[in-house]
Amino acid sequence: MLKNTASSYGWPMKLLHWLIAILVTMQFFYILAKNNLPEGDPNIGQMMMLHKASGFVIFWLGILFVLWRLANRKPDWPATMSSWQQHLANITHALLYILIILMPLSGILMGMLKGFSINFFNLGTICATRFPQSEALADYFHTLHLYTVWLLGTLIILHIIGALVHKFFYKDDVLKKML
């Protein structure tokens, strides 16, 4: 099924959802690994290359995800779901969509404004030389990146908890729609 229906998401939406979920999870591991390496370890550069290249991919997948979501219907909420729960779920999803784009964008801009290019998995380089260098703007985007990481992490946890509550407490098909 290509397009979303009243009862399920289509395969493009499911694929994008799970690809982004996996890549975002990997981002946290790259940074944790980098931060636990001793200073001067050559693997620090490798972890940052993977972090930046994956962030670039997440940015574009996030845009594609949002465009696909806007072009398709959203499956119906279960009839047993109250209006406040639907409203909370809609707000959470909207914030997740925004942050999935804003977080990597802020990281990309931070690096570019500091003059750092993106090594795209050793396949090519996205060059920063076309960007004006600005330490003040880079610091702004660094702060924004840190705040979006914490907010996104919190929303992801709430999103997972919500899906599990629907599966095990309400015993409805909310989680099944994305599997």
- CATH number for the domain spanning 71: value is 1.20.950
Q: State pLDDT tens for residues 96-146.
A: 999 999 999 999 999 999 999 999 999 999 988 777 899 999 999 999 999
In a domain, 5, yes or no: no
In a domain, 2, yes or no: no
9, two tokens: 């998401």
In a domain, 91, yes or no: yes
In a domain, 105, yes or no: yes
pLDDT of residue 146: 96
Sign, CA dihedral 135-20-34-40, equals negative
CB 158 within 8 A of CB 92: yes
- Predicted TM-score of the model (pTM): 0.93
Terminal-residue alpha carbon distance, the chain: 13
Please report, in tens digits, the pLDDT of each residue of the chain (179 residues total).
899 999 999 999 999 999 999 999 999 999 999 999 999 999 999 999 999 999 999 999 999 999 999 999 999 999 999 999 999 999 999 999 999 999 999 999 999 999 999 999 999 999 887 778 999 999 999 999 999 999 999 999 999 999 999 999 999 988 889 98
For residue 107, the enclosing domain spans 11-178
pLDDT of residue 130: 78
- The total domain count for the chain is 1
In whole angstroms, give the CA distance from residue 103 to residue 12.
22
